[in-house]
Structure 1
């Protein structure tokens, strides 16, 4: 602690769990956008990862509320949000947005994989056959007409899901932007910043996962798809950097009474994570690398490695952004004359170990999903013989 802070400001209430909550939520929104670019807007070059991005979004969406539930002193009271609704509370409304989005995503995943589910229900044996028979809802035959109807429904659900996905993550930025007492949070640009960084992190995650999974499966990388994702990543990353820069520039230009404490915050308290990690390592360097892969004449293998490195740096940079917003904002005293301190605990419900376990859960779910229904073949094609699964990933 330094300077003058009020006696009730000695504890940072929103800790590491609240940092990864918007981070995981953003990965959901970004992954869903990639899927929708194919299903709604017909960007055929994303066909290779369209189904994979959809189940990635589902795996992460299922884990999204967990950091909040664990953070509660009484986790069982989370259900009160549904039993005693308060529609004037932004935090309460999140539960309904999340549940509605979950229904859309589950329905879309079922429709996209319906042909595979029916095929496995007819050809599998034992427990696996029973599971897929239940998932098929008793329908084991398809026609050209039913496939056409499925395609139309997929497009409708993906179209509806886009604004819901944006609302899901824009709401997180709204929560922080609506805190008028905190000058680091209170800005109308906060929902836009969170939304853009969400799309950026989701695309970067898909690139990293696609390359890692292709390596595990010993499958050939679709470079046309990879370069297209890298192009979209560079575009959204450029927009995110500009908006984040405008946020600080507007504070600098207005020179309100809170600017002095904000200036000290970004130049001293969080200078390394803000300028060093968020902007230089996680934004500017990836932009340079992505630009080089798009414009320079480089060997395909080198391009792939550079895109992987750039995407990994983007994921680190977006996490740093979440840290700087959530933790950085709480370091500022309400007096605007001092700073609080925050030390990350290793153990406990709010510690690094718990956070790491929660963050690992969606990857485990994704491995389970891809084990039972490999997303690497399109409808009507034979399933590939080397799906990413529990055996190939060494989990069993």
Structure 2
């Protein structure tokens, strides 16, 4: 059976060898890389530009970005028929290949994030090593953590004022370098689509810029939503441990302050992303190239609900209004962020799936029916279960990373 035949429905005149080859995993791929880039940019707003109001959420965003990083390659690995060959992209650099260039950027970005986390947490790691060494009745978990921290410390135990100041400078330098690298990491995905000359919907120079802006929007929205959820969990744990009322009030105050401060930057990047997306649609209609008739049929007829109702209406306009209304509450901000994430996902869906919706004959259409219940490994990988597996993996990784690099400690300034 031909790849794509299981979930492709054809209409009118479509070539026999045409199917929806790029399915949900290729939608998840730019979506996940966008979350990585957006979370890192949010973290860098504090480390590079000294936005003091983002101090607490910046550390969380940095660790969360590191948890998202390995998952960026996961959709491609699931989509490939020979996934073991995927590592060749990282091991055999080739500067004239866009895919190989992504491997180089991906590895470089991974090293930047890992190094930044090391410098941010070095003081904490050294102090924790000293604390656990002096503890007589260590548990098995504490012994394991002590071993991990000893390995990560790399023998750098100097906590002098000069050494700590050097750490701060290194963090700022790495964050500064990391911003363009993170943007290029996701702009590459837009570049891949925008350079496909055979597809009229994708062939636009604005595609990389649109992808970058929407990536920052989605990453910031996910960090706000996740940060608020984790803070609620912390408050629930604090209530069970019966602390003083001041601790819960402090957690609530921190949560509200961070969410409100970050929401302002989310609005700023949303404005830029929406403007670029609308500019692209207007530009296509104004130039009206030869393929405009079939593109117009897809945009304004076949995918009207997905584009104008789901993507622009529910995913852009509604959250924009929610964030602009006065007296923004944490719950309303979280609802807006959830809608923003849905809108960015629909944007990826409409680009990837919508770009394959029309035949190269310009006289037929194809529709993708995502497999919900897996009946084979193929339908598992390219269906709802595969997409959900990709979506939950970063939270599992974050759980373990948070044990090593606590994302909510506030005793160090970086």
TM-score by length of 2: 0.87
1:198 aligns with 2:225: no
1:91-112 CA distances to partner (integer Å, 9 max, x unpaired)? Answer: 1211110000000000000110
Look up the match of 1:159.
Answer: 176
Compute the displacement of 1:380 (Å): 4.0
1-side partners of 2:168 and 2:92: how far apart?
A: 38
The residue aligned with 2:358 is: 332
- Contact 1:37–1:43 (8 Å) recurs in 2: yes
Q: CA RMSD in A?
A: 1.4
Residue 387 of structure 1 corresponds to none
The whole-number CA distance in structure 2 between the counterparts of 1:130 and 1:314 is: 41
* Corresponding position: 1:210 with 2:258: no
After TM superposition, give the deviation of residue 377 of structure 1 in Å. Answer: 2.2
Distance 2:158 2:411 in 1: 14
Determine the C-alpha separation between the residues in 2 that align with 1:173 and 1:310: 25
Give the Cα separation in 2 of the matches to 1:271 and 1:351.
23
Tell me which of 51, 55, 58 is aligned to 1:50.
58
Q: Which residue of 1 aligns with 2:407?
A: 375
Q: 1:314 to 1:252 in 2, by over 3 A?
A: same
Q: Partner of 1:267 in structure 2?
A: 300
Verify: 1:312 aligned to 2:338, yes or no.
yes
Q: Is the 8 A contact 2:63 2:405 kept in 1?
A: no
Query: In 2, Cα distance between the equivalents of 1:86 and 1:318?
Result: 31
1:257 corresponding residue in structure 2: 290
Residue in 2 that maps onto 1:389: none
- Determine if the alignment matches structure 1 residue 243 to structure 2 residue 276: yes
The residue correspondences of 1:5-84 to structure 2 (distance < 5 A) are: 5-9=14-18, 11-84=19-92
Deviations 1:20-56, CA, capped at 9 Å, x for gaps = 0100100111111111110001110000111101011
Superposition map of 1:39-188 within 5 A:
39-124=47-132, 125=138, 126-188=143-205
- Report if the CA contact (8 A) 1:211-1:221 is conserved: no
Does the CA contact (< 8 Å) of 2:92 and 2:100 recur in 1? no
1:173–1:191 Cα contact (<8 Å) kept: yes
Match of 1:3 among 12, 16, 35: 12
Q: Which moved more, 1:353-362 or 1:323-332?
A: 353-362
SS of residue matched to 2:93: coil
Asked if 1:322 is matched to 2:348, the reply is: yes
Give me the whole-angstrom Cα distance separating, in 1, the residues matched to 2:66 and 2:91: 25
Extract structure 1 runs of 4+ deviating beyond 6 A.
none
Alignment of 1:348-387 (within 5 A): 348-380=380-412
Match of 2:266 among 233, 246, 256: 233
How far apart, in 1, do the equivalents of 2:403 and 2:91 lie?
36
Cα deviation 1:261-300 (Å, max 9, x = unaligned): 11111122222211111100000011111111xxx2x3xx
CA distance in 1, matches of 2:24, 2:39: 23
Shift in Å, 1:254: 1.1
Decide whether aligned partners of structure 1 residues 380 and 249 sit closer, same or farther in structure 2, where only a CA change above 3 A counts: closer
- Mapped partners of 2:320, 2:253: distance in 1: 22
Q: Which residue of 2 aligns with 1:393?
A: none
Task: Provide the rounded CA distance (Å) in 1 between the counterparts of 2:36 and 2:93.
Answer: 25
Q: Which runs of 5+ in 2 are unaligned?
A: 1-9, 133-137, 236-250, 375-379
Kindly tell me the number of residue pairs found equivalent between the two proteins. 373
Contact 1:121 1:136 (C-alpha < 8 Å) held by counterparts = no
Rounded Cα–Cα distance in structure 2 between residues aligned with 1:92 and 1:319: 25
Runs of 5+ consecutive residues of structure 1 not aligned to the other structure: 382-396
Distance between the aligned counterparts of 1:358 and 1:244, measured in 2? 26
> C-alpha separation between the residues in 1 aligned to 2:367 and 2:384?
17
Tell me whether 79-88 or 105-114 shows the greater mean CA deviation: 79-88
| Distance in structure 1 (CA, Å) of the matches to 2:88 and 2:169 | 37
Q: 1:345–1:352: 8 Å Cα contact kept in structure 2?
A: yes
Q: TM-score, normalised by structure 1?
A: 0.91
